[in-house]
Amino acid sequence: MKNLFNIAGKVALVTGGSRGIGEMIATGYVENGARVYISSRKREVCEGIAAELSTRGTCIALPFDLSTLEGISALAAEVGKREGKLDILVNNAGAAWGEPIDSYSESGWDKVVDLNMKSPFFLTQKVLPLLRAAATADSPARVINIASINGIVPPELETFAYSSSKAGCIMLTRHLAKRLAAENILVNAIAPGPFQSQMMAATLATHGDAIRASNPRGRIGTPEDIAGVAIFLASRASAYTTGAVVPCDGGAAEV
């Protein structure tokens, strides 16, 4: 019982790991002894965060563009060259797009839906051999999809593709969980509420006080909040949990 949340020695891949929620999760994993690969589109930023996190543990940058199948396949192949197994995949890379309903663009829709829903599926597919190599009955491999409370409760903002894709991410999580449980691969999702991130920066700058005031916890999320849930879903503590969606929102989805 003393080691329920131990992830030391596990190999993890966190997409979108160079900023925001992805960086928070990667930091939690690194500081708790995991060997962490982070991926993002911007090489300089990705390598800079990896270098910073490497002062606290093991973090390796693998910059790839996950908006294309070529980038997804290349990332999976690179991880496979370096590791014989993958214990934890965190599908966090994502995008948002807001436009009035009367002018909402097809390009904005496609960008968001592809990155938020298509890319997690195909990256999971491409790294399945590594997840299978790590998976045992006593120590299952993990896939953790980062959804959103906007996939549970419709937002006020006109971010139609974002909320739809995050709802789709939740069903994808459940479908993958059903398919992969027999192979000792657990698939769960986290549905974050407001956190300080680049995606939320503009919203928090203009509506931050109102968002904090309306949240039952009276604040926005901290790195420890999201990292704690991600560590739980990667550790022995959640070995009997799959297909779950864990809100990490201070109760905002219940208001």
Global confidence as pTM? 0.94
Segment among 13-17, 198-202, 213-217 with least mean pLDDT: 198-202
Segment among 47-61, 121-135, 182-196, 197-211 with least mean pLDDT: 197-211
At the top level of CATH, which class does the domain 11-248 belong to?
A: alpha beta
Per-residue pLDDT, 21: 96
Per-residue pLDDT, 37: 98
Q: Using alpha carbons only, give the angle 19, 226, 165 rounded to the nearest 5 degrees.
A: 70
Highest mean pLDDT among 77-86, 195-204, 219-228: 77-86
Contact predicate 41/65, CB 8 Å: yes
Task: Provide the mean pLDDT of the chain.
Answer: 94
Q: Which of 29, 37, 104, 162 is catalytic?
A: 162
Every domain of the chain and the residues it spans: 11-248
Task: Tell me, letter by letter, the H, E, C secondary structure of 127-189.
Answer: CHHHHHHHCCCCCCEEEEEECCHHHCCCCCCCCHHHHHHHHHHHHHHHHHHHHHHHHCEEEEE
Positive or negative torsion for Cα 6, 179, 85, 56: negative
Distance set, CA 214 to CA 3, 36, 77, 207, 226 (Å): 37, 35, 45, 11, 20
**How large a percentage of the chain has pLDDT more than 90?**
85
Residue 244 CA to chain centroid, in angstroms?
14
Pick 62 or 214 by higher pLDDT: 62
Contact predicate 152/108, CB 8 Å: no
Using 50, 70 and 90 to split pLDDT, how confident is the model at 6? very high
Contact predicate 72/48, CB 8 Å: no
Residue 187 has pLDDT above 90, yes or no: yes
Per-residue pLDDT, 64: 97
158-186 pLDDT, tens digit each: 999 999 999 999 999 999 999 999 999 99
Contact predicate 79/35, CB 8 Å: no
Residue with tokens 């999976």: 76
Is 104 annotated in the active site? Answer: no
Residue 91's nearest CA partner among 134, 39, 50 is: 39
